[in-house]
């Protein structure tokens, strides 16, 4: 049983600003809720309303941005933009009935789990009384789910890590974590798309660009995607960096 | 049309109305902090609202016209002077080649917008010319402007812009006798910020809500384009739940673990996990953009319906300004 509502129930929608409303599907991190967010997001992009601008999926919410001028002039029923957009979203939600699963794309990310590129690899292993090889195996055997893109452009919060690797953040965050660093924070794992300060435990690095403003889809990962980490050695890493 | 930056000032960036289409990939909106001043600087030149402008933070900046330029400025951060003469704001200015223009301090606010005929010519990145410094893209090479940078106006200008230029062009500095004063649009009281209660408003205790809506909050020194720290009465909660990260937007007022407040601004992250007290009315965000560390503000509650009405009225007012400029040259 899920605490969340089901598609045939009324959505909980709240006001975020004059140009945005948020649909709240629940208040927990849950694959079923993520599906609900993804499916409605997809449908909204396929069948948008006049004035629809963009939508931001998060763990259990979908926030819909719009142009108030266009919405207020549209013939959607309702006195205010909030009423017009909410009404439209309630109807869209009824259309999602039955279609409640969005597998997402499967993205494979090569990672070099190397002590130089993953300065916390040894500490994570020691903390959990595992060998470095076991840490690498556990981290690269799982299929992760991108719950949300946030923090900095292209950063995906990944769920699905093996419980044995759950590790608290570093007591003192680093002033600069290099781009591509693969880290662990609590039960989550993720990849730093660009050099930023950060407190995650760094266990490796990918040569792949998680975010590139020059690409038509700048963020490699989208909410709802499945992610697999594939171990590569240092020579392969260097070769991939060169590409 | 070209200018060369001689002194960049504290933080000078290229901005337009922002980048909205990549929020889901955690790309911040960015854009002009004071969208009203940026739009007025564009409107008086017959530009589009979304044309790129230069955002100056405080004064102490200087540029030189490498060619004849048609520019305009608006915003409360600085007054422009050329040859020791103050140049009036919110109207088209013809600046002849070789003129040096300085920004001198104006204590009213902190941000000033400089537009040019056709908008400043920088490449569009992800649908916007705004500089997003955190990720290093947009504007001029993804960074703040520095001394020696040259900036050009777009080659294509509107018919209206061309007519304004023709009417002012000459040997000396000249400007119109008309202007579009933002004063006529902004409320007289610039230190009372209207807010709509946010989704977690009731997570706070009655004392917190009373304090929030009646006591002064001071803009903290740790404030920038990402957000402002607000110093004042600590806001305690009755509901101690953890909030799952969800979308936030410029104008969102978050309350951190120690009961302090952060007002999110143009370069804010796209998601946040702090409970939210309120959302600043869109029409009052330009007022927030001009606030400086040490300024005291008060919050006044309005409902979402009123906020929307104010927004739609403001947009109509701004459309009338465009019509007014056009009618002078048709």
Residue A191's nearest CA partner among A231, A146, A141, A129 is A146
B326 part of a folded domain: no
Question: What is the value of ipTM here, to two decimals?
Answer: 0.96
Residue A242 has a pLDDT of 78
Residue A171 has a pLDDT of 85
Find all residues with CB under 8 Å of B219, minimum gap 6, and list them. B228, B229, B230, B231, B291, B292, B293, B294, B295, B297
A5 part of a folded domain: no
Residue A8 has a pLDDT of 55
Residue A110 shares a structural domain with residue A91: no
B145 part of a folded domain: yes
Find all residues with CB under 8 Å of B141, minimum gap 6, and list them. none
Task: Collect all residues of chain B within an 8 Å Cβ-Cβ radius of residue A22.
Answer: 199, 246-247
Residue B120 shares a structural domain with residue B244: no
Q: Nearest CA of chain B to the CA of A14: how many Å?
A: 7
Residue A124 shares a structural domain with residue A160: yes
Q: Which of A60, A95, A130 finishes a domain?
A: A95
Q: Which of A36, A61, A95 finishes a domain?
A: A95
Q: Which of B251, B307, B312 sits opposite A69 (nearest CB)?
A: B312
Residue B156 shares a structural domain with residue B12: yes
Q: Nearest CA of chain A to the CA of B26: how many Å?
A: 4
CA angle A118/A122/A126 to nearest 5° reads: 145
Chain position carrying tokens 């435990």: A201
Residue B168 shares a structural domain with residue B198: no
For B176-210, write each residue's pLDDT tens digit. 999 999 999 999 899 999 999 999 999 999 999 99
B280 part of a folded domain: yes
Residue B242 has a pLDDT of 81
| B317 reaches A (C-beta below 8 A) | no
The residue-averaged pLDDT of B218-232 equals 96
Task: Collect all residues of chain B within an 8 Å Cβ-Cβ radius of residue A79.
Answer: 305
Residue A147 shares a structural domain with residue A172: yes
Does pLDDT of B49 surpass 50?
yes
Residue A102 has a pLDDT of 67
A119 part of a folded domain: yes
Per-residue b/e over B253-289, b at no fewer than 16 CB within 10 Å?
bbbeeeebbbbbbbbbbbbbebbbbbbbbbbbbbbbb
Residue A124 shares a structural domain with residue A238: yes
Residue B258 has a pLDDT of 87
Residue B139 shares a structural domain with residue B101: yes
**What sign does the dihedral A222-A223-A224-A230 (CA atoms) show?**
positive
Residue B12 has a pLDDT of 98
A3 part of a folded domain: no
Separate counts of helices (H) and strands (E) for chain A: 6, 13
A101 part of a folded domain: no
B25–A153 C-beta distance less than 8 A: yes
Residue B284 shares a structural domain with residue B147: no
Q: Which of A53, A63, A149 sits opposite B246 (nearest CB)?
A: A63
CATH number for the domain harbouring residue B226: 2.40.100.10
Residue B148 shares a structural domain with residue B55: yes
A6 part of a folded domain: no
Residue A3 has a pLDDT of 42
CATH number for the domain harbouring residue A150: 2.40.100.10
Residue A41 shares a structural domain with residue A63: yes
| B125 reaches A (C-beta below 8 A) | yes
Helix or strand run (H / E) with residue A238:
helix A234-242
B250 part of a folded domain: yes
Q: Nearest CA of chain B to the CA of A218: how many Å?
A: 8
B57 pLDDT band, cuts 50/70/90, is very high
Task: Collect all residues of chain A within an 8 Å Cβ-Cβ radius of residue B28.
Answer: 153
B100 or A197, higher pLDDT:
B100
CATH number for the domain harbouring residue A91: 3.30.1360.40
Does pLDDT of B83 surpass 90?
no
Burial degree of A132 (CB within 10 A; 0-12, 13-18, 19+): middle
Contact B64, B4 (CB under 8 A): yes
Residue B177 shares a structural domain with residue B215: no
Tokens at residue A132, please?
């470095």
CA angle B118/B119/B121 to nearest 5° reads: 105
Residue B43 shares a structural domain with residue B170: yes
Tokens at residue A8, please?
């045939």
As a whole-number percent, the residues of chain B with pLDDT over 90 amount to 91
For B228-253, write each residue's pLDDT tens digit. 999 999 999 999 888 889 999 999 99
Question: 10-residue block means of pLDDT along chain A (243 residues)?
Answer: 54 97 93 91 94 96 97 96 97 77 87 96 96 97 95 94 93 92 93 93 96 94 95 95 79
Domain that holds residue B166: 2-181
Does pLDDT of B127 surpass 80?
yes
| B124 reaches A (C-beta below 8 A) | no
A212 part of a folded domain: yes
Residue B21 shares a structural domain with residue B136: yes
- The SS3 assignment for B55 reads strand
Find all residues with CB under 8 Å of A109, minimum gap 6, and list them. A191, A206, A208, A220, A227, A228, A229, A230
Residue B6 shares a structural domain with residue B122: yes
| B139 reaches A (C-beta below 8 A) | no
Q: Which of B132, B153, B181 finishes a domain?
A: B181
A72–B312 C-beta distance less than 8 A: yes
Does pLDDT of B111 surpass 80?
yes
Q: Nearest CA of chain A to the CA of B198: how many Å?
A: 7
B311–A82 C-beta distance less than 8 A: no
CA angle A125/A127/A128 to nearest 5° reads: 70
B41 part of a folded domain: yes
Residue B172 shares a structural domain with residue B285: no
Residue A86 shares a structural domain with residue A128: no
For B269-299, write each residue's pLDDT tens digit. 999 989 999 999 999 999 999 999 999 999 9
Residue B152 shares a structural domain with residue B196: no
The residue of A12, A18, A72 whose CB has the most chain B CBs within 10 angstroms, and thus the best one to mutate to test that interface, is: A18
A101 or B81, higher pLDDT:
B81
Domain that holds residue A35: 12-95
A134 part of a folded domain: yes
Domain count, chain A: 2
Residue A99 has a pLDDT of 63
- The SS3 assignment for B213 reads helix
Domain count, chain B: 2
Mean pLDDT of chain B: 96
B287 part of a folded domain: yes
A43 part of a folded domain: yes
Residue A84 shares a structural domain with residue A199: no
């Amino acid at each position: 049983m899920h605490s969340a509502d089901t598609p045939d129930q009324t959505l909980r929608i709240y006001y975020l600003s004059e140009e945005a409303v948020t649909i709240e599907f629940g208040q927990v991190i849950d694959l079923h809720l993520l599906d609900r967010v993804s499916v409605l997001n997809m449908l909204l992009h396929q069948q948008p309303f006049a004035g629809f601008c963009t939508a931001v999926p998060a763990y259990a919410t979908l926030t819909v941005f719009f142009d108030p001028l266009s919405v207020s002039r549209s013939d959607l029923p309702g006195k205010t933009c909030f009423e017009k957009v909410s009404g439209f979203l309630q109807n869209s939600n009824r259309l999602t009935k039955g279609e409640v699963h969005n597998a997402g794309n499967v993205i494979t990310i090569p990672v070099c789990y190397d002590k130089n590129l993953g300065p916390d690899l040894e500490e994570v292993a020691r903390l959990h009384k595992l060998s470095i090889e076991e840490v690498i195996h556990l981290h690269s055997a799982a299929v992760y789910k991108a719950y949300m893109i946030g923090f900095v452009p292209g950063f995906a919060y990944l769920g699905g890590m093996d419980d044995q690797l759950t590790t608290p953040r570093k007591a003192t965050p680093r002033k600069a974590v290099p781009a591509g660093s693969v880290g662990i924070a609590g039960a989550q794992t993720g990849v730093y798309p660009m050099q930023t300060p950060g407190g995650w435990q760094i266990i490796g690095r990918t040569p792949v660009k998680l975010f590139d403003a020059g690409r038509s889809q700048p963020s490699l990962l989208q909410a709802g995607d499945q992610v697999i980490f594939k171990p590569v050695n240092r020579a392969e890493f260097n070769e991939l960096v060169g590409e | 049309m070209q200018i060369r930056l001689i002194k960049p000032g504290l933080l000078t960036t290229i901005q337009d109305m922002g980048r909205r289409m990549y929020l889901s990939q955690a790309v911040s909106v960015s854009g002009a902090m004071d969208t009203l001043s940026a739009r007025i600087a564009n409107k008086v030149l017959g530009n589009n609202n979304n044309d790129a402008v230069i955002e100056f933070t405080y004064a102490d900046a200087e540029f030189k016209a490498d060619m004849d330029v048609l520019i305009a400025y608006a915003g409360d951060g600085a007054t422009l002077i050329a040859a020791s003469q103050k140049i009036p704001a919110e109207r088209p200015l013809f600046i002849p080649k070789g003129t040096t223009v300085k920004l001198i301090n104006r204590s009213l606010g902190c941000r000033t917008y400089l537009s040019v005929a056709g908008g400043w010519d920088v490449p569009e990145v992800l649908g916007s010319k705004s500089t997003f410094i955190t990720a290093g893209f947009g504007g001029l090479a993804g960074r703040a402007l520095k001394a020696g940078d040259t900036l050009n106006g777009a080659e294509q200008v509107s018919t209206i812009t061309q007519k304004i230029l023709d009417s002012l062009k000459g040997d000396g500095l000249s400007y119109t006798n008309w202007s579009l004063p933002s004063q006529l649009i902004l409320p007289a009281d610039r230190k009372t910020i209207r807010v709509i209660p946010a989704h977690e408003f009731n997570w706070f205790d009655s004392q917190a809500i009373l304090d929030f809506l009646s006591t002064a909050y001071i803009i903290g020194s740790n404030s920038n384009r990402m957000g402002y720290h607000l110093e004042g009465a600590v806001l305690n909660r009755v509901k101690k739940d953890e909030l799952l990260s969800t979308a936030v937007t410029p104008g969102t007022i978050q309350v951190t673990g120690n009961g302090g407040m952060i007002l999110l601004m143009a370069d804010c992250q796209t998601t946040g996990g702090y409970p939210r007290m309120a959302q600043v009315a869109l029409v009052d965000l330009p007022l927030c953009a001009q606030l400086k560390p040490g300024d005291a503000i008060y919050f006044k509650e309005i409902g979402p319906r009123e906020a929307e009405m104010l927004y739609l009225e403001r947009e109509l007012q701004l459309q009338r300004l465009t019509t007014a400029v056009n009618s002078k040259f048709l």
